[in-house]
């Protein structure tokens, strides 16, 4: 049972870290897209909190996970943000798609953990999932809304 739990926790922890990293890159890449920028700050706080709470919970099962979201440093984030040659409205659509997909993976990992917790009667983990999984789902919903709002303008304006 321990191996399964470790697998689920580690996988989810990785997923939350990826979401956090991607949000960090989005923040660096779209500083003047205010609709994105400010909400991304709040979304990033959720991911970091999820990572912290996961690490706390994992420690109780002797699974060692970092409590700090594996966030890139400000310089790293800027460097990664700069991997896109020119930030266009299309870049934002791409970034929002990526966020949705990363959050969707992570959401599945929360499901996996919750199912395992339920089967293994681990009430604490189930409670954790109930409390924190919704934030991941809300990240997906926001990405979905942003894609809906932005894609008509962006695609209609492409040369």
Partner 1 sequence: MDRTRIEDPWGRRTPFARGHMWPERVDEYFTDGVRAEDVQEWVPAASILDSNGDAMDIAVMDGRMVGVRGRATDRVNRGRLDIKSLHGWESGSSRDRLTTPMVREGGELVPTDWDTAMGRVVERCRRELESKGPRAISFYTSGQLFAEEYYTLTTIARAGIGTDHLDGNTRLCTATAGEALKETFGSDGQPASYADIDHADVIALFGHNVAETQPVLWMRILDRLAGEDPPRLLVVDPRRTVVAEHATVHLAPRPGTNLALLNALLHEVIERDHVDHAFVEEHTVGYGTLADEVADCTPEWAAQVCGLEATDIVAAAELVGGAERLLATVLQGVYQSHQATATAVQVNNLVLLRGMLARPGCGVLQMNGQPTAENTRECGADGDLPAFRNWQNDEHIRQLAEIWNVDMMQVPHHSPPTHVMEMFHHMQEGTITFLWISATNPAVSLPELARIRSILSDENLFVVVQDIFPTETTALADVVLPAAGWGEKTGTFTNTDRTVHLTERAVDPPGQARPDLDIFLDFAARMELTDRDGGPLVTWHDPESAFEAWKRCSAGRPCDYSGMSYDLLRERGGIQWPCTEERPDGTERLYEDGGFWAAPALCETYGRDLVTGASVQPTDYKALNPHGKAVLKGATYLPPHEEPDDEYPMYLTTGRTIYHFHTRTKTGRAPELNDAAPRVWVELSETDATEIGVAEGDRVQVSTPRGAMRGEVRLGDCRPGVAFVPFHYGYWDTDHPTGPPSEADGRAANETTVTDWDPVSKQPMFKLGVARIEKVTS
Plot region of 122 (φ>0 → left; ψ -120 to 50 → alpha; else → beta): beta
Q: Decide: is 42 part of the binding site for partner 1 (CB under 8 A).
A: yes
Residues within window 52-111 making contact with partner 1, judged by CB under 8 A: 89
* DSSP SS3 for 11: helix
Kindly state the smallest distance separating residue 37's Cβ from partner 1, in Å: 8
Using an 8 Å Cβ cutoff, are 5 and 63 in contact?
yes
Kindly state the smallest distance separating residue 91's Cβ from partner 1, in Å: 11
Token code pair at residue 135: 């934030």
For every residue of 76-111, DSSP letters joined together read HHHHHHTTSSS--HHHHHHHHHHHHHHHHHHHHHHH
Kindly state the smallest distance separating residue 9's Cβ from partner 1, in Å: 25
Measured CA distances, 27 to 34, 59, 82, 103, 119 (Å): 10, 31, 12, 16, 39
Residues within window 114-153 making contact with partner 1, judged by CB under 8 A: 138-139, 141-142, 144-145, 148-149, 152-153
Among 1, 2, 38, 94, binds partner 1 (CB under 8 A): 38
Kindly state the smallest distance separating residue 66's Cβ from partner 1, in Å: 23
Residues that bind partner 1 (CB under 8 A): 32-35, 38-39, 41-43, 45, 89, 138-139, 141-142, 144-145, 148-149, 152-154, 156-157
């Amino acid at each position: 049972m321990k191996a399964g739990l470790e697998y689920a926790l580690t996988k989810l922890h990785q997923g939350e870290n990826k979401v956090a990293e991607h949000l960090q890159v989005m923040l660096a890449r779209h500083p003047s897209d205010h609709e994105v920028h400010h909400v991304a700050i709040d979304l990033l706080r959720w991911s970091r909190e999820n990572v912290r709470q996961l690490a706390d919970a994992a420690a109780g099962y002797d699974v060692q996970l970092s409590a700090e979201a594996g966030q890139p440093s400000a310089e790293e984030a800027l460097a990664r943000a700069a991997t896109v040659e020119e930030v266009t409205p299309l870049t934002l659509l791409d970034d929002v798609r990526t966020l949705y997909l990363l959050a969707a993976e992570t959401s599945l990992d929360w499901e996996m953990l919750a199912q395992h917790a339920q089967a293994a009667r681990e009430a604490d983990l189930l409670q954790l999932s109930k409390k924190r999984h919704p934030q991941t789902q809300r990240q997906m919903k926001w990405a979905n809304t942003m894609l809906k709002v932005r894609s008509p303008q962006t695609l209609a304006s492409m040369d």
